[in-house]
């Protein structure tokens, strides 16, 4: 029989492993387009992503987490602490194994969907089919379809606008400069709203929607004007100045994605660990558990380690392969992905940045912005998205069964 403390130690190991995998698998999300567009070097991208993920996880990450991610399984399965302990452990390991497999096979899967899948597996084993919240599961399924399509449309429109309003103008540089407050402002608008609505810190502030929109408008107007003033000196530079202007904006959006990713995804690794920690300390668990700050830091460090170790490998492929993703294209992709994630999470859909980014790239491709992009690959990627939930669920069920037998 395992003692509770050994469970906790195993939990730490699994939690770190999961966080590591999140870092390794998701690093491309935030920095992909920026590196592809040569806005930053690979080394810088890895460094910035690691730091911002730790900061995002520790400072913005939620200090209270739902016992079950996304409420996909009814909390009654948690009533038996012993069962909950095994459940959290098997869910954590199952999700980590799947994400690990995906990282090894270089498949972009959603870490959130992995943990949701493994929670379903544990829920079915512990409480049967009736504990599954089918509506929530349906929302997950919908997100596979909605997020790429939505992002595709936004990416298409944004790129077409950039072409129509800036690139094809006679004096493209002047047009870019004139319109830069609009682009900086709208990027800022999405970022501020995402921050207020999507990150745990923003949710804690509990600002109402009208107020949040007002704040976002204020911030974007201020930043737009400041940005226009800031890029003034770029006008005298030689080379493709339009791209240089968008390069500046793109670095900003990439950093935001890294920060938000740390804040949101850390719970995928730390949520189940917090449950284990809480049960070991207090003996029972409710529908939410407090997350001590050192656990968040622990998770952030795990993500940073993953980024550090796998990041440069991913980035190298990316930097050499995606040569046609210039800054204007990269900005369109980033903007599409960020807006989709924001709107979808406002609608309560658990979308993944990866899914949205794929849609954004295709949108820009449809707008004739990329020299060659393969549309059909999206179906291949979609298969892995769909596979994620059942694969994680089955692994989790198996692990739960094994762990319960050991107990």
Partner 1 sequence: MRLPFFSMFLTSPFEGIQEHAEKIKECAWSFQQAIECYISIRCTRFEELRQEVCRMEREADGIKRRIRGHLPIGTLMPVSKFQLFRYLREQDGVLDALEDALDWISYRAEAGVPPEVEKDFLLLVDAVIDPIEELNKMVCEARKYFRTYNEDQRTVVKDIIRNLRQQEHDADKLEDAIKRNIFHKCTDAVTVFHTVRLAEIIGSIADHAENAGDMMRAMLAK
Where does this chain bind partner 1 (CB under 8 A)?
28, 32, 106-108, 163, 167-170, 172, 240, 242, 313-314, 317-318, 321-326, 354, 357-358, 361-362, 365-366, 368-378, 380-381, 384
CB of 327 to partner 1, least distance (A): 11
Single out the residue of 56, 29, 58, 4 nearest to residue 292, CA to CA: 58
- Residue closer to partner 1 by CB (options 75, 326) is 326
- Residue closer to partner 1 by CB (options 12, 384) is 384
CB of 230 to partner 1, least distance (A): 23
Q: Show the CA angle centred on residue 102, arms to residues 347 and 373, nearest 5°.
A: 70
DSSP, residue by residue, 309-354: HHHHHHHHHHHHH--S--HHHHHHHHHHHHHHHHHHHHTT----HH
CB neighbourhood size of 172 (10 A): 15
- Residue closer to partner 1 by CB (options 2, 167) is 167
- For residues 209 and 228, give the distance between their C-alpha atoms in angstroms, rounded to a whole number: 28
CB of 319 to partner 1, least distance (A): 10
CB of 11 to partner 1, least distance (A): 31
- Residue closer to partner 1 by CB (options 82, 317) is 317
- Residue closer to partner 1 by CB (options 241, 264) is 241
Structure tokens at 307: 């980024």
Element (H, E) at 203: helix 200-205
State the burial class of residue 186 (Cβ atoms within 10 Å of its Cβ: 0-12, 13-18, 19+): middle
For residues 99 and 21, the answer to whether their CB atoms sit within 8 Å is yes
- Residue closer to partner 1 by CB (options 130, 171) is 171
For residues 24 and 261, the answer to whether their CB atoms sit within 8 Å is no
CB of 101 to partner 1, least distance (A): 14
For residues 312 and 338, the answer to whether their CB atoms sit within 8 Å is no
- For residues 267 and 270, give the distance between their C-alpha atoms in angstroms, rounded to a whole number: 5
Structure tokens at 329: 């294209």
CB of 369 to partner 1, least distance (A): 8
- Residue closer to partner 1 by CB (options 282, 323) is 323
CB of 154 to partner 1, least distance (A): 16
């Amino acid at each position: 029989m395992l003692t509770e403390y050994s469970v906790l130690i195993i939990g730490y190991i699994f939690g770190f492993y999961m966080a590591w995998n999140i870092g390794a698998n998701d690093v491309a999300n935030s920095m992909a387009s920026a590196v592809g567009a040569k806005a930053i070097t690979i080394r810088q991208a890895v460094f910035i992503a690691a730091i911002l993920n730790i900061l995002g996880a520790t400072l913005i990450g939620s200090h209270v987490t739902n016992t079950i991610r996304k409420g996909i399984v009814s909390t009654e399965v948690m009533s038996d602490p012993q069962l909950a302990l095994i459940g959290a452990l098997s869910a954590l390991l199952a999700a980590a194994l799947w994400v690990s497999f995906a990282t090894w096979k270089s498949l972009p899967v959603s870490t959130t969907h992995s943990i949701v899948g493994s929670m379903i597996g544990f829920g079915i084993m512990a409480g049967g089919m009736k504990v599954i919240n089918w509506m929530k599961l349906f929302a997950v399924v919908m997100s596979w379809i909605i997020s790429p399509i939505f992002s595709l449309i936004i990416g298409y429109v944004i790129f077409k606008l950039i072409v129509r309003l800036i690139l094809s103008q006679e004096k493209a540089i002047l047009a870019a400069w004139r319109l830069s407050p609009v682009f900086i402002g709208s990027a800022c608008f999405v970022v501020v709203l995402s921050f207020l609505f999507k990150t745990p810190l923003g949710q804690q502030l509990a600002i109402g929607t009208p107020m949040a929109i007002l704040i976002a408008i204020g911030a974007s107007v201020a930043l737009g004007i400041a940005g226009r003033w800031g890029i003034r000196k770029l006008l005298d530079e030689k080379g493709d100045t339009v791209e240089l202007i968008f390069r500046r904006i793109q670095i900003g959006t990439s950093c935001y994605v890294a920060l938000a990713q740390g804040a949101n995804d850390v719970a995928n690794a730390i949520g189940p660990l917090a449950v284990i920690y809480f049960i070991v300390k207090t003996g029972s668990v409710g529908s939410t558990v407090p997350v001590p700050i050192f656990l968040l830091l622990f998770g952030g460090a795990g993500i940073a380690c993953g980024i550090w170790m796998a990041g440069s490998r991913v980035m190298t492929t990316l930097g050499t392969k995606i040569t046609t993703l210039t800054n204007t294209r990269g900005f369109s992709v980033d903007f599409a992905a960020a807006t989709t994630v924001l709107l979808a999470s406002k609608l309560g859909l658990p979308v993944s940045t990866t899914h949205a980014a794929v849609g954004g790239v295709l949108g820009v491709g449809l707008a004739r912005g990329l020299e060659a992009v393969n549309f059909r690959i999206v179906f291949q990627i979609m298969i892995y998205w769909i596979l994620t939930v059942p694969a994680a669920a089955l692994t989790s069920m198996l692990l739960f069964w094994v762990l319960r037998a050991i107990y």
